[in-house]
Amino acid sequence: MTWDVCLEYANGNQTILKTYCHRETALKLIDLIYSTYGYPMHVAYIVRPSQARSALNLVVPA
């Protein structure tokens, strides 16, 4: 399973910043962002299961 680190805006829109294979690594990035830049007002950094994983499973060898 892969994990996306996303920036989530107040209106619910999300932007994928980076994708990781391990959830713990993704969470460490968010900890680093918050410790470096603090907590922003109208956005949140989140980790979610990657939605691109299902697209990768559709690749069929020729």
Distance CA 36, CA 43 (A): 15
Distances (CA, A) of 34 to 21, 27, 62: 21, 11, 45
> pLDDT-based confidence at 9, cuts 50/70/90?
very high
Query: What proportion of the chain, given as a percentage, has pLDDT over 70?
Result: 82
Encoding tokens for residue 18? 């980076």
Q: Is the pLDDT of residue 15 over 70?
A: yes
Q: Is the pLDDT of residue 59 over 50?
A: no
Mean pLDDT of 51-57: 58
- CB neighbour class for 30 (10 Å; exposed up to 12, middle 13-18, buried from 19): middle
User: Is residue 40 within 8 Å of 8, Cβ to Cβ?
Assistant: no
Mean pLDDT of 7-36: 96
* Paired strand residues for 20: 3
